[in-house]
Amino acid sequence: MRPGSVTVGAVHGAALLLSLTGFASTLWYGVDEPGNALAFGTLIVLGELARWGAAPGVGAPPVREAPGGREPAPLAAAGALAYALLGASAGTATTHGVLQIVAVVVAAGLAGIVPHIARGRGPGPDHLARRVLTVGFAALCFQPLYNSGAVVEHLGQGPAYALFLVLLLALTALCDAVLAALVLRARTGFPYGPLLRDELSALLGIGSAVGATGTVMALGVAAAGLWALPVLAVPLLLTQVSFRRYAAVRTVNRQTIASLARATEIAGCTPPGHARRVAALSAAVGRELGLSGAELAVLEHAALMHDIGQLSLVDPVAGGATALLPTEEQRRIALLGGEVVRRTGVPEAVAVVVERQADPYREQPLPARIVRTVNAYDDLAGGEKAGAALDALERLRLGTARDHHPDVVECLARVLARGGAAGVTSVATG
Amino acid sequence: MVRIRSTMPSRAVQLASVTGMMGVKVIPRAARVYIGCALLGAGASVLPALRPGAATPWATVALLTALYALCELPARCRLLGRALGGSVPMGTGSFFPVLLAAALLLPPAAAALTAVPGSLLARVEEPPAAPRRAWRAAATALATWAAAQAAGALDCARALGHGHDAPDFPYALLPAGAAALTFCLALTALDGGIRATAGGLPPRAAWRGLLGRALAPHAVHGLAGLMMAVLWRSTYGPVSALFVLLPMYISCWVFAQYHRERAAHQATIRALVQAVDIKDRYTRGHSERVGHASVLIARELGMAEDRLDVVRFAGILHDVGKLGVPTRVLRKDGPLTPEERRVIELHPEYGHEMVRGIGFLGEARAAILHHHERMDGSGYPYGLHGDEIPEFARVVAVADAFDAMTSTRSYSRARPVPTAVAELERCAGSQFDARMVAALVRALDRHGWQPAVTADETTPAGPTGGNVPPPRGAHAARRPEAPGTRPRERA
């Protein structure tokens, strides 16, 4: 049994239990305000249908997704949130409870993803469980208070009410981030802090657009009735289209960079898969050392392209193992690589890492230290042989006086002991 | 499949429309007069709000004005913009929903007033700043004024509801739609005018296409503005109206990121080409020129716009597989041994292997693999003949040979274009597709040939070998320098 499976099981179990209770209760007591339920349900179904299938990147390197681009069905998420925070409809108070909200959201969500599942691109159970629990949390915070009349009594129906919804929204977002980081930690074993930080910073992207639209839909329906739904859905759809195009061009860029990285392999400069392995392992080490999303992206790009300087050598280095060359030669190749990387349009920071990968560790920035150590490890271990790995680690430890930072080497050892870079790719798709 | 060409009505175009005079450094006299007229008109439209006795709702005006100015500021202020998550400036026009909400909420004169400070404060892409700012303020004020007139004529104030009175949906969509349409029409008309006067475009060209591209974004802005106005008037007050802006803001931010990433992508493609230059510096500029010639041929054949992009990439990347050929062989001066020749002839396959993972290249991948095939089947790597060779590969083969002949090599001067064309025509049918050669000839007649890149060296090559060194007889005048000694030089 994997160490995190208890957490994942608990999250899935809680979501399943909540959904089943919601269905049972709704079937037993019937639906309050079926018109509202139908309208929001339709919105969620449409939102799920318009979901952009985050097709698993076949052959793409494990470079992380754009932060904030991870909500695949923003309209559905906003609709679910709005239904959870719905107090009044065109000035009339509503009476639907938490369990009905869960039932409507789950039923509509399932109806919406059936076509996607039929095409084999349905969302993972993690995503569904998160949606159910987050919406349940928001509803649980709001509906009992509202239905008992406490909200309107204390806050009235003015700006204070709107600000109360914003407060709930912030709490819900926090809950969602905690949940996401928890599941991710259970699946990958990375430290919790950086994961949570990533999730929170991801909220600034489409997460905040979803939240704002959800809140404003709840308010809009309260003020203007159900007509507010289609009117507000359009701007959010525009946001989704923008995100989709952004993601598409990012994918293309990533593929191109991966091709550039493969150039050294095809040129016979490096062994097959070297760049990919170094990138994956560097990312795992970087995460272990607590790097955040943007820094990890820089690290992975730099790791992918770290050997590009070898293209300018007249004769390939034997076996492509730069770690075995004299120091001056290594630095020269690193500088040449930096020259190429500077022209690729990736952030300047990537070129700096590539340039400084062969410097002594005391002069290096952290990402360059990681690339240096991981590259040396891959060169020394030469792929998959188990015995070579231990030898390689031993040699890296011997190099900690000048070349390799001791913390990075120990971190690499921990990551390797855990099974290497496994799980890095699941971060990208999560 | 990923497409990188934009298919939506471009927001960037619409954003540019407000600044109108893109690329004009000195404002011509006609444009000065035009801007002056617009300023006078804007002043006249704002004036009624400032008259004593006008019942202007100053609180709402102040709030909306401040909101609009605040929204436009991050783009102006570099520090603030960076704090908000990126140094990408967003164009003016991302916040038209505020102006449209003002048009729905306020009387025309007051609505026009809300547009002025924000437009004056917003970022200007290029100098001269003062007339551009003045123009933008006048144009947005006039457009907002017109939108408010349209909304007022359709009894907007009643339709929005007030306090506990619910708004009158779906009727409210009518004044909001009319306001958005008027706003869009007014801006487009004014913008066409400035393009005609400042840019010196003929009036028809100045207006062409502007409206079609602007309509869809403005419809979205109109809906957002309507919802802002409804919430503003509702019991929840102006605070709740702010939330409408957030998705719009994020959408614009993402759009700016998209453009940055797209530019980065173009740079990455160039980097792939430059990686080849590192190994084989005699091909410098060759790739870009082959891309250009391939597009000339493809356009002459009447290919669709998006295929033209792909064929350009095919041309640019056709020799990318040379990365796989040992540098020593590529730079060899003397005659190549049969063994070395075999190694060089692997480059189409290496190239295909490299770009295999780049989804959007599509047909270009086949072109890279087959650009050394010949019509009579004696080419490589597969010895395909006739129509078995992919269309793009036949295009690139002609473009490649043409550029190899017309550029100066290390040991011989460039041949003039007519000689190269005659050589191509001689080999049409046996080596090249006659249709492609004819298309190139027509394109050259029409557009001429100005190699855009100033690089003047390519590997020795004739129509017989594309861009691969001939088996013997290549006497390079100079030896390649020791590699990698002066990396800066290759930039």
Block means of pLDDT (10 residues each) for chain A, 430 residues, are 77 92 90 88 88 44 41 84 88 85 92 83 79 92 88 83 90 90 82 80 77 88 86 82 79 80 78 86 87 83 86 68 76 84 78 86 87 88 68 83 87 80 37
**C-beta neighbour count of B345 within 10 angstroms:** 16
Selected residue of B14, B261, B361 to mutate for chain A interface (largest A Cβ count, 10 A): B261
CB contact at 8 A, A84 and A320: no
CB contact at 8 A, B207 and B67: no
Neighbouring residues of B397: CB distance < 8 A, sequence distance ≥ 6: B371, B372, B373, B374, B431, B432, B433, B436, B466
Length, in residues, of chain A:
430
User: Residue A204 has what DSSP assignment?
Assistant: I
- What one-letter code names the amino acid at A303? A
CB contact at 8 A, A97 and A143: yes
- A263 interfaces chain B, CB cutoff of 8 Å: yes
Phi, psi dihedrals of residue B265, rounded to the nearest 5° = -65, -45
pLDDT given for residue A2 in this prediction: 61
Name which of A60, A208, A263 is nearest B246 (Cβ-Cβ): A208
Inter-chain CB proximity B327 and A314 less than 8 Å: yes
Binding-face residues of B in 280-339 toward A, CB within 8 A: 320-321, 323-328, 331
pLDDT given for residue A319 in this prediction: 63
**C-beta neighbour count of B431 within 10 angstroms:** 21
What residue ranges in A116-205 does DSSP mark as E strands?
none
CB contact at 8 A, B189 and B196: no
Q: Which of A201, A184, A129, A128 shows the shortest CA–CA distance to A430? A: A184
pLDDT given for residue B144 in this prediction: 93
Q: Which residues of A touch B488 (CB under 8 A)?
A: 339
How distant is the Cα of A319 from the closest Cα of chain B, in angstroms? Answer: 14
Tell me the C-alpha distance between B397 and B389, whole Å. 11
Q: Which residues pair with B234 in a beta bridge?
A: B163
Neighbouring residues of B377: CB distance < 8 A, sequence distance ≥ 6: B383, B384, B385, B386
Name which of A158, A204, A266 is nearest B353 (Cβ-Cβ): A266
ipTM greater than cut 0.90: no
Tell me the C-alpha distance between A80 and A215, whole Å. 10
Q: Which regions in chain B score pLDDT beneath 50?
A: 1-22, 77-89, 92, 453-491
CB contact at 8 A, B72 and B95: yes
DSSP characters over A248-313:
HHHHHHHHHHHHHHHHHHHTTSS-TTHHHHHHHHHHHHHHHTT--HHHHHHHHHHHHTTTGGGGG-
User: Residue A94 has what DSSP assignment?
Assistant: P
Bond into B170 cis (ω within 30): yes
Phi, psi dihedrals of residue B357, rounded to the nearest 5° = -80, -5
pLDDT given for residue B441 in this prediction: 92
Angle of helix A366-381 versus helix A293-304 axis, rounded to 10: 40
Name which of A248, A313, A343 is nearest B270 (Cβ-Cβ): A343
CB contact at 8 A, A313 and A333: yes
DSSP characters over A350-408:
HHHHHHTTTS-GGGS-HHHHHHHHHHHHHHHHTSS-HHHHHHHHHHHHHGGGTTS-HHH
CB contact at 8 A, B41 and B135: no
- A262 interfaces chain B, CB cutoff of 8 Å: yes
Tell me the C-alpha distance between B352 and B350, whole Å. 5
| Owner of token pair 């979501």 | A15
pLDDT given for residue A211 in this prediction: 86
Q: Which of B115, B101, B97, B105 shows the shortest CA–CA distance to B190? A: B115
Inter-chain CB proximity B230 and A311 less than 8 Å: no
User: Residue B432 has what DSSP assignment?
Assistant: B
Tell me the pTM: 0.72
Neighbouring residues of B22: CB distance < 8 A, sequence distance ≥ 6: B16, B125, B199
Neighbouring residues of B177: CB distance < 8 A, sequence distance ≥ 6: B219, B222
Tell me the C-alpha distance between A47 and A213, whole Å. 13
CB contact at 8 A, A116 and A54: no
DSSP characters over A400-411:
GGTTS-HHHHHH
Bond into B381 cis (ω within 30): yes
Inter-chain CB proximity B239 and A248 less than 8 Å: no
Greatest alpha-carbon pair distance for chain A in Å reads 81
How distant is the Cα of B46 from the closest Cα of chain A, in angstroms? Answer: 30
Binding-face residues of B in 124-183 toward A, CB within 8 A: 161, 164, 166-167, 169-170, 172-173
Neighbouring residues of B448: CB distance < 8 A, sequence distance ≥ 6: none
DSSP characters over B234-254:
BTTHHHHHHHHHHHHHHHHHH
Neighbouring residues of B435: CB distance < 8 A, sequence distance ≥ 6: B301, B394
Find the Cα–Cα–Cα–Cα dihedral B330, B332, B333, B338, rounded to 10°.
-90
The helix or strand, by DSSP H or E, that contains position A186, with its residue range, turns out to be helix A159-188
Find the Cα–Cα–Cα–Cα dihedral A417, A423, A427, A428, rounded to 10°.
120
pLDDT in tens, B270-297: 777 777 777 766 666 888 889 999 999 9
Selected residue of A169, A216, A234, A322 to mutate for chain B interface (largest B Cβ count, 10 A): A216
User: Residue A207 has what DSSP assignment?
Assistant: I
CB contact at 8 A, A206 and A71: yes
Bond into B326 cis (ω within 30): no
Tell me the C-alpha distance between B194 and A97, whole Å. 58
| Owner of token pair 């690089």 | B455
Inter-chain CB proximity A336 and B274 less than 8 Å: no
Tell me the C-alpha distance between B28 and B17, whole Å. 18
- What one-letter code names the amino acid at B342? R
Q: Which of A248, A121, A284 shows the shortest CA–CA distance to B262? A: A248
Give the tokens for residue A78. Answer: 């906003």
pLDDT given for residue A301 in this prediction: 87
Tell me the C-alpha distance between A306 and A350, whole Å. 9
pLDDT given for residue B463 in this prediction: 37
Find the Cα–Cα–Cα–Cα dihedral B372, B374, B378, B381, rounded to 10°.
30
Angle of helix A274-288 versus helix A293-304 axis, rounded to 10: 160
Binding-face residues of B in 43-72 toward A, CB within 8 A: none
| Owner of token pair 């509509």 | A108
Angle of helix B108-121 versus helix B96-105 axis, rounded to 10: 160
pLDDT given for residue A316 in this prediction: 67
Length, in residues, of chain B:
491
Tell me the C-alpha distance between B266 and B179, whole Å. 39
3-class state of residue B16 by DSSP:
helix
**Interchain CB contacts (distance < 8 Å): A and B:** 238
pLDDT given for residue A82 in this prediction: 92
Three-point CA angle B164, B165, B169, nearest 5°:
130
Tell me the C-alpha distance between B35 and A321, whole Å. 66
Instruction: Tell me the three-class secondary structure of A105-124, residue by residue.
Output: HHHHHHHHHHHHHHCCCCCC
- What one-letter code names the amino acid at B16? A
